[in-house]
Amino acid sequence: MSQVVHRRYWRASAFAALSLSLILTGGTATAADPTPTASATASATATSSPSAEATEAATDGATADATEAAADAAADAEEQPVAAEGFVPEHEGWPNATEHSQQAYSTTDDFTAKWTRADAMQIQRLSNPDAASGESSLPEYLTMPEISNGFPATNSDEVWVWDTWTLTDDHANQISYNGWEIIFSLVADRNAGDSFDDRHTNARMGFFYRKAGTTTSSADGASSSNGGWICGGHVFPDGASGSVFADQSFSHQTEWSGSARLMPNSNKIRMFYTAVAFYREPTSDAGYLMSDGTDYKPQDPHIVQSEGRIHADENGVWLTGFRDQHDLLTPDGKYYQSRYQNQYLSFRDPFSFVDQTNPSDTNTYMVFEGNTAYARAGEDTSIIAAHGQSTTAATCTAEDLGYQDGDPEAGTVDEVNEAGAYYQLANVGLAVSENKAMTKWRFLPPILSGNCVNDQTERPQIYFKDGKSYLFTISHRSTYASGMMGPEGVYGFVGDGVRSDYQPLNENTGIALANPINLNYAAGSPYAPDWNQSPYAYQSYSHYIQPGGLVESFIDSIGGNHDGNPVRGGSLAPTVKLNITGTTTSVDRSYGTNGLGGFGDIPANKAYNPGYDER
């Protein structure tokens, strides 16, 4: 664990780990063995009694050890920081969270809310340091119910399915069209010879449909319905999404997540999505040298819009159009980190909406995932400067840490920078459409930054409820900065407007919905989970919040932490329901079966029935 992990949590975790090691190994401070043997000391005690001399020696040694321990404790107490006068700790032994007002600002203002390290430390505060191997350390009300490793495939054996979104109007209502519900998903061919973990560079956008009003259950595991979804094929004609790239020498070209808008009183769909080109072979574009010395060009993400039409009759749904691609946005290097500033940038997942907290604002906006526009260590600043972008080196500031003045549990800027936390620079971007066709967009400053906390705020969405603006996003444990930890799942923030001083939900942890995970142990990965980790730490991902608090996601990886053979998903997960009130969310365990609804249960809440189309 990093030296910049909160000092009290580090001591408690270290003591718990040492105690567990001593129990399992008979006094030898080694890592817990998944198949521990009997203690050698215990065996010796069972076969012989200690002599008087040995007993006396042991007593003397214990006395000396106790004296030394007392001296160490006294010295340690003297080293404990003391709160400044007037500072009031909210939770003994933990830093206070950053104060957030939820105040709204104009969407065009330059105010950016901070998701700070002081905020993220509240996750560790809420985590149970005594949670045993294989258990979740997070409160049940924040965790998604466990999914059986028996589940139906969304589309038989043809495609893997992951990021999924719905056909919506400008208020995020989910629309059925002529009696059919429609979803869009990233898909990859299961039979193309690639593994599930290779899917990201082979992703296409597919669509699925089912009869409106379909009801499903997850109670029967693998024998349950797959949600009733029928695969309609790809959204874009072959090669269409790659047309936005001036440099056609890419080795891989992929389609990533977005959002779909059904225009009023028509069958016109505007699809906002991410097109990405990868350049995996050597090229003549010098300046990006890999360790083996070959030339390398970084990935090239674009936010794109394409327009098509939806049609339906009594037999199903089909799409036309989607040939023309409108290149909307590429990172500017001012607000949003570019491929020149960081070859591993995040820039994707546009979600379009109108501001429901301000009815007089008729603009269409989008939020998207970005990174703060610093130059990553190691990138060539001359190339960055040649493109007219910021060459300022990434660094963590006191504002990124967010500790209150006088907090004795606060970390320091120096130690955080020394630990390399400046490599993690997540933000949530904002842009506004400048024409009715939504083909021209302008960047606005980000609405949230997670500098030195996390590197990814994927698939952000704005969700309006009770006059409040909720910002939901998803992230991973593996993308946290040094000293920070959190689960795979949904993170949420609330404010009085689209641009607000957003407050993290649920005691300032930011957790809205988490997979069951144990933060006392290493995370492992979806394809190789840690032995001590919860079998459900990677059970689902890419959650999307629907009207009424329903949450859909896909199954990623279940089990495998003991046998090294996790069950991989690529299918839609059971839907769950969140109760969202003020600054809190909680999982509704009365929904469905023990809190799990049907697999891929993604219902429409509004119907549009213009009449059947002819094929």
Quick check: is 163 catalytic?
Answer: yes
Token reading at 615: 């094929």
Phi (first) and psi of residue 433, to 5 degrees: -75, 140
Phi (first) and psi of residue 237, to 5 degrees: -60, 150
Q: Report the binding-site residues for Ca(2+).
A: 349, 417, 455
Count CA atoms within 13 Å of residue 599 on its CB side.
Answer: 29
Q: Which of 407, 458, 552, 601 is catalytic?
A: 458
Phi (first) and psi of residue 110, to 5 degrees: -95, 15
Q: Which residues, other chains included, contact 300 with Cβ-Cβ below 8 Å and sequence gap of 6+? A: 245, 247, 250, 276, 277, 279, 330, 339
CB 538 within 8 A of CB 526: yes
Per DSSP, helices labelled H in 483-606 are 505-508
Q: Report the binding-site residues for substrate.
A: 257, 456-458
Q: Which of 163, 255, 488, 552 is catalytic?
A: 163
Q: What is the DSSP string of 166-231?
A: EEE-TT-PBEEETTEEEEEEEEEETTSS--GGGGGGG-EEEEEEEETT-----TTGGGS---S-EE
Token reading at 554: 């896909």
Rounded to a whole number of angstroms, the distance between the first and last alpha carbons of the chain is 61
CB 472 within 8 A of CB 553: no
Phi (first) and psi of residue 607, to 5 degrees: -115, 145
Token reading at 245: 């790239």
Q: Which residues, other chains included, contact 218 with Cβ-Cβ below 8 Å and sequence gap of 6+? A: 147, 151, 224, 574, 592, 593, 596, 597, 598, 599
Active-site amino acid positions? 163, 458
